[in-house]
Amino acid sequence: MIEKYIKPGQRVEMKAIKRTSKKEDAEEKVYASKVYDVVSDDEIEIEMPMEQTKLILLPVDGEYEVNFYAGPVLYECVARVIDRYKSNNVYILLFELETNLRKHQRREYYRYSCALDMDSRNLSEEEIFEAGDKQDIFRLVPGLPLKHSIIADISGGGLRFISNYEYERESLIVCKFELFVKGQSKIYEIVGKVLNVRLLETRNGGYEHRVQFVNISNQTREEIIQFIFDEERKHRQKESRWR
């Protein structure tokens, strides 16, 4: 039955469940990987996640919120690691599902660390069109001057970038960057809202901006998620060749 929804190769995100109320545990690490095989209706093999070139050995008996990216649909469940082993030169985590699969209602996105060139500028008032009860519609004016920066991490929900200039919090900006998706290079121009800005002590005059994408299309969001998944897979393949 579960094979109707979960299939080998699908992207997975895992977040540890900690039985604590400490503030420092408010933001748990999210690990990205993919489904290796569906063993039964309550057991799934997932490839061990990696950070850069290092395998992350999630502990046996550890409980996780697991999100499965099944095309346009996102499913979630709580699962427990019951075994770790190597199969066909792939390191595997065997998960036992402790809850039924359900569609994910509140979507959170895995943030991929990177160093990508980006250009940006403030959104002008003339580019914002009121749409009644709907979200604002943005009609971008081409050819306006842009300022260079570096994306430090990106997700389907937004990005974080480093620059030598500062935007105001709550301001709307245009983020322009290039990604390699499904074998093709593509330029994206996405409107984002600046959620937070901080001065970097390690950089002279450097600023870190955290941005949430605004009014982004589902297709664009899925392409960004696909880019992240492809990049993570490349890292895993490199590590496999080095072993």
CATH number of the domain bearing residue 41: 2.30.110.10
Domain assignment of residue 182, yes or no: yes
Domain assignment of residue 60, yes or no: yes
Same-domain status, 123 and 215: yes
Same-domain status, 99 and 120: no
- Give the pLDDT confidence score for residue 5 in this predicted structure: 87
Of 103, 138, 166, the position where a domain reaches its end is 103
Same-domain status, 77 and 56: yes
pLDDT digits (tens, 9 = 90+) for 43-97: 999 999 987 778 999 999 999 999 898 766 788 899 999 999 999 999 999 999 9
Same-domain status, 33 and 12: yes
- Give the pLDDT confidence score for residue 239 in this predicted structure: 59
The better pLDDT of the pair 154, 107 is held by: 154
What is the DSSP code (8-state) at residue 99? S
Domain assignment of residue 237, yes or no: no
Q: Is residue 170 within 8 Å of residue 178, measured between CB atoms?
A: no
- Give the pLDDT confidence score for residue 134 in this predicted structure: 44
Domain assignment of residue 199, yes or no: yes
Same-domain status, 92 and 121: no
Domain assignment of residue 241, yes or no: no
Q: Which residue has the tokens 């990604």?
A: 179
Of 68, 84, 103, the position where a domain reaches its end is 103
Of 103, 125, 145, the position where a domain reaches its end is 103
Same-domain status, 119 and 226: yes
Buried b (16+ CB within 10 A) or exposed e, 186-221: eebebbbbbeebeeeeeeeebbbbbbebbebeeebb
- Give the pLDDT confidence score for residue 23 in this predicted structure: 41
- Give the pLDDT confidence score for residue 25 in this predicted structure: 41
Same-domain status, 224 and 119: yes
Same-domain status, 124 and 146: yes
The better pLDDT of the pair 135, 182 is held by: 182
Mean pLDDT of all residues belonging to the chain = 85
pLDDT digits (tens, 9 = 90+) for 121-180: 999 988 887 544 445 578 899 999 999 999 999 998 899 999 999 999 999 999 999 999
Same-domain status, 180 and 80: no
Domain assignment of residue 238, yes or no: no
Domain assignment of residue 240, yes or no: no
Q: Which domain holds residue 171?
A: 112-231
Domain assignment of residue 39, yes or no: yes
The Cα 206–Cα 160 span in angstroms is 13
Same-domain status, 143 and 161: yes
Same-domain status, 180 and 125: yes
Report the domain count for the chain: 2
Q: Among the ranges 63-67, 115-119, 231-235, which has the highest mean pLDDT value?
A: 115-119
- Give the pLDDT confidence score for residue 132 in this predicted structure: 43
**Domain containing 133 — which CATH number?**
2.40.10.220
Number of H helices, E strands in the chain: 1, 17
Same-domain status, 138 and 216: yes
pLDDT digits (tens, 9 = 90+) for 190-218: 999 999 999 988 756 699 999 999 888 88
